[in-house]
Chain A
Amino acid sequence: MTACLSVRDLSVLASAKPILHPISFTVSPGETVAVTGESGSGKSTLARALMGLLPNGFKTCGQIIFEGKDLTTLPESAFRDLRGCRIAMVFQEPMTALNPIRRIGKQISDTLRLHGAVPSRDIAPHVQQLLDRVGLRRAGVSAQAYPHALSGGQRQRVLLAMAIACKPALLIADEFTTALDSRTQAEMMDLVKELAVEHEMGVLMISHDLGVIRRQAQRVLVLQQGYLVESNETEQLFDAPRHPYTRALLSMSLHGTSHPPLTRIPVPTDVSKGVQR
């Protein structure tokens, strides 16, 4: 199986200061790869670098190979065609990503029309199909609804419908479920998982939540202060972490590991200091 995304020695510099050190990994079709780390680890920088959305003054080195093209050398206009179509994204904050004064059905059909994904007479039924697929029709949400009338989880479903509208090869989810409560979170994750298999779509998931990652990802990349310190299969990572930082993260997490209640959680003193490689 060929990789759908292949990153080779990608690094990011912010005004000559490295904030992401060279990192290499691949994402295969249908596979979910998680990127985790604490704030300042560089995980959001990585996501934005992949989407070509780094702010001015940031410089990338290395290669991002997607469908045979190197995204780092792609002109902005060509990148724009890829974004939202072959590479889709979903973010944490659904309210800022949706237009508050447009009906959700219209916003989904805008995406379809923009990328010319389906012939225009098929757009309306396609929108209905998408709403159905992300479970909004079942919840009684119509294409005529405005974003403010929806709950946080429903808005995320709209975003997901827009993201998968053009059947992308890669979905980047940046702390997608972080703002949701755990029950809605679980539902959303199951949905993404199904869609990934259905569309043979690679998923790169950025999350700080180890519970979510364990449930969702096949492989995990652990970042610490801009360095990739461990890349491992999910089961192995949780059962036998190789890097001391991963071990420290797992030992402190309340998800997956059981600490006796009402006792101090062992916090390694060196966890926030420096990088051990």
Chain B
Amino acid sequence: MSALLEAKNIAYSVPERGSSVFGSRKKTVLQDVSLHVAERETLGIVGSSGSGKSTLSRILTGLIRPEKGKILFQGQDLRDANRQVRKDIRPSIQMIFQDPQGALDPRQTVRQIVKEPLHQMALSNDEKERRVLEALADVALPQDAADRYPRMFSGGQRQRIAIARALVTRPSVIVADEAVSALDVSTQAVVLNLLLDLQKRHGLSYIFVSHDLAVIRHISHRVAVLDEGKIVETGPTLSVMDHPQHAATQDLIDASL
């Protein structure tokens, strides 16, 4: 299986707290992180808070530029690619965020929210409109949802809107950062089912980032364990869970039950 999205030797650091504009010490967030996800595959990234998993997901989606290393999409280095190619590739990688409150602009209608990622794509307005309705149907939201505001929806429905926004560009990879962590048990189950359905229906790849081992175990084919900015263990989900090789993995397993 060839890699669809690949990260090679990613490093990232931030200025240490308390350092000034003049001369600053750096704190390492990620160190030599390499991973890949194949077509129709789910890679779970698990780690406790402060392990750097949020930063990693933002680097994978291009929101943050890594200090070292590169991101390859279908073998193509995004940094070397020219503007046009980048513009073409960008819609193929989408993201679902954690916070159901902060992920949707309260002053925009669902239609405006879901349409936003199509902004730079060369599509007619009719086509964009069609895509929006299609994405809403994909996540089983009623058509009349389009003209309502996020506050009129429950937490689970808001997360569906966020998923519809990620689907509207017909991406091949979706990075989900703690996408179900803030949801109730039943809503979590419904959203996880939806994500599994969508993967089958559209042949999606997921990079699923979470601190919750139970969620990662349920949805991932392969798992990478992130600890203090480094990947300490990676492999098929069940073999990592059943035969952890690293102390950090064992800690996470112990904590989850």
Q: Do chains A and B touch in the complex (CB under 8 A)?
A: yes
| Residues of A participating in the B interface, judged by any CB pair closer than 8 Å | 38-39, 149, 151-153, 180-186, 208, 210-211, 215, 248-249, 252-256, 259, 261-265, 267, 271-272
Q: Does B48 contact A (CB under 8 A)?
A: yes
Docked CA distance A153–B187 (Å): 26
Is B80 engaged at the interface, CB distance under 8 Å to the other chain?
no
Question: Nearest chain-A residue to B194 (Cβ)?
Answer: A264
Report the separation of the CA atoms of residues A182 and B215 in the bound assembly, to the nearest whole angstrom: 12
Bound complex: CA A38 to CA B42 (Å): 28
Main secondary structure of the interface of A (DSSP, over half): loop
B192 at the A interface (CB under 8 A) = yes
Instruction: Identify the stretch in B102-110, B145-153, B216-224 within 8 Å (CB) of chain A at 4 or more residues.
Output: B216-224
A residues less than 8 Å from B197 (CB atoms): 264
Q: A261-B217, A261-B237 are in contact. Are A215 and B257 (CB under 8 A)?
A: yes
Contact yes or no, A181 B48, CB < 8 A: yes
Contact mask for chain B residues 201-222; partner A; CB cutoff 8 A; 1 contact, 0 none:
0000000000111110111110
Closest to B178 in A: A181
Contact status of A183 and B186, CB under 8 A, knowing A211-B257, A256-B257: no
- Tell whether, in the assembled complex, residue A211 and residue B185 are in contact, meaning their CB atoms are under 8 Å apart: no
B211 pairs with A265, CB closer than 8 A: no
Chain B residue contacts of A152, Cβ below 8 A: 49
Q: Does B38 contact A (CB under 8 A)?
A: no
- Docked-complex contact A262 and B185, CB < 8 angstroms: no
Whether A262 contacts B215 by the Cβ 8 Å rule is no
A255 proximity list for chain B (CB < 8 A): 214, 256-257
Of the stretches B126-134, B165-173, B247-255, the one at the interface is B247-255
The answer to whether B211 touches A253, judged by C-beta atoms less than 8 angstroms apart, is: no
Contact B49 A265 (CB under 8 A): no
| CB closest residue in chain B, given A267 | B189
Q: Is B190 an interface residue (CB 8 A)?
A: yes
Contact A254 B218 (CB under 8 A): yes
Closest 3 A/B residue pairs (Cβ): A254-B214, A181-B211, A252-B189
Indicate the size class of the contact surface on chain B: 35 or more
Per the bound structure, the CA–CA distance linking A136 and B252 in Å amounts to 22
Q: Is B184 an interface residue (CB 8 A)?
A: yes
Contact with A208, one of B17, B48, B184 (Cβ below 8 angstroms): B184
Closest to B46 in A: A182
Task: Please give the distance in Å from B98's CB to the nearest CB on chain A.
Answer: 11
Point out the residues of chain B lying under 8 angstroms from A261, CB to CB: 217-220, 237-238
Query: Distance in Å from the Cβ of B95 to the closest Cβ of chain A?
Result: 20
Chain B residues with Cβ below 8 Å from A153 are 49
Q: Are A180 and B49 in contact (CB under 8 A)?
A: yes
Cβ–Cβ contact A267 & B256, under 8 A: no
Tell me how far the C-beta of B209 lies from the nearest C-beta in chain A, rounded to whole angstroms: 12
B101 at the interface (CB under 8 A from A): no
Of the A-B pairs whose beta carbons lie under 8 Å apart in the complex, a sample of 30, sorted by A's number, is A38-B185, A38-B186, A39-B155, A39-B184, A149-B17, A151-B50, A181-B211, A182-B211, A183-B48, A185-B255, A208-B184, A210-B185, A211-B214, A211-B257, A248-B186, A249-B186, A253-B189, A254-B188, A254-B217, A256-B257, A259-B218, A261-B218, A262-B42, A262-B196, A263-B196, A265-B189, A265-B192, A265-B218, A267-B193, A272-B186
Contact B218 A252 (CB under 8 A): no
Which B-chain residue is minimally distant from A186 (CB atoms)? B255
Chain A neighbourhood of B50, CB < 8 A: 151
Q: Is the CB of B190 within 8 A of A267?
A: yes
Q: Are A252 and B185 closer than 8 Å at their CB atoms?
A: yes
Residue in A39, A182, A248, A267 whose beta carbon sits within 8 Å of that of B255 in the complex: A182
Among A211, A256, A271, point to the contact of B186 (Cβ < 8 A): A271
Contacts of A182 in B (CB 8 A): 48, 211-213, 252, 255-256
Shortest Cβ gap from A180 to chain B (Å): 7
Across the two chains, which residue of chain A brings its CB closest to B215? Answer: A254
* Cβ contacts under 8 Å, A252 to chain B: 185-186, 188-189
Checking B186, B196, B212 against A264 with a beta-carbon cut-off of 8 angstroms, the contacting residue is B196
Residue of B nearest to A182 (CB): B255
Which residue from chain A places its CB closest to the CB of B51 in the assembled complex?
Answer: A181
Contact of B218 among A185, A210, A215, A262 (CB under 8 A): A262
Q: How far is the CB of B192 from chain A (nearest CB, A)?
A: 6
Quick one: which of B222-250 are within 8 Å of A by CB? 237-238
Question: How many angstroms from the CA of A148 to the CA of B209 in the assembled complex?
Answer: 26
- In the bound assembly, the distance between CA atoms of A181 and B248 in angstroms comes to 13
Return A77 CB to nearest CB of chain B, in Å: 36
